[in-house]
Homo-oligomer: A and B are copies of this chain.
Amino acid sequence: MSITLYDFPAKRTEHSAWNPNVWKTRYSLAYKSLPYRTVLVEFPDLERTMERLGAAPTETKPDGSPKYTLPVIHDAATNAVVSDSVSIAQYLDETYPSPPLFPNGTHAFHASFNDIFPVRIEPMLQFLIPSIASVLNPRSEEYFRHTRKEMFGKDLTELYPAKGSERREIEWRRFEEGFGMLDKSMRKCDILIMGGNMPCFADFTVAGWLRSFRTVFGEASEEWEDIMQWHDGRWYRFMKALEKYENDAVQPIHARL
Contact = CB atoms under 8 A, between A and B. Distances in A.
A108 B203 CA distance: 11
A1 interface: no
Given A115-B116, A116-B115, A108 B181 contact: no
A105 interface: yes
A40 interface: no
B105 A196 contact: yes
Contact of A185 (B108, B116, B184, B190): B108
A70 to B, nearest CB: 24
A65 interface: no
Nearest to A105: B194
Interface in A184-205: 184-187, 190, 193-196, 202
Copies of this chain present: 2
Name the interface size band of chain A.
20 to 34
Interface string A209-236: 0000000000000000000000000000
Nearest to A111: B185
A115 B195 contact: no
A202 B106 CA distance: 11
A60 interface: no
B185 A112 contact: yes
A194 B109 contact: yes
A182 interface: yes
Contacts of A113: 109, 112
Interface string A150-179: 000000000000000000000000000000
A190 B193 CA distance: 24
A162 to B, nearest CB: 31
A104 interface: yes
A202 B109 contact: yes
Contact of A116 (B112, B194, B195, B196): B112
A113 to B, nearest CB: 5
A36 interface: no
Given A104-B105, A107-B185, A108-B194, 7 more contacts: A105-B190, A106-B106, A107-B187, A108-B190, A112-B117, A112-B185, A116-B116
- Give the top 7 A-B pairs by smallest Cβ distance, nearest first: A111-B185, A105-B194, A109-B109, A104-B104, A105-B195, A108-B185, A116-B116
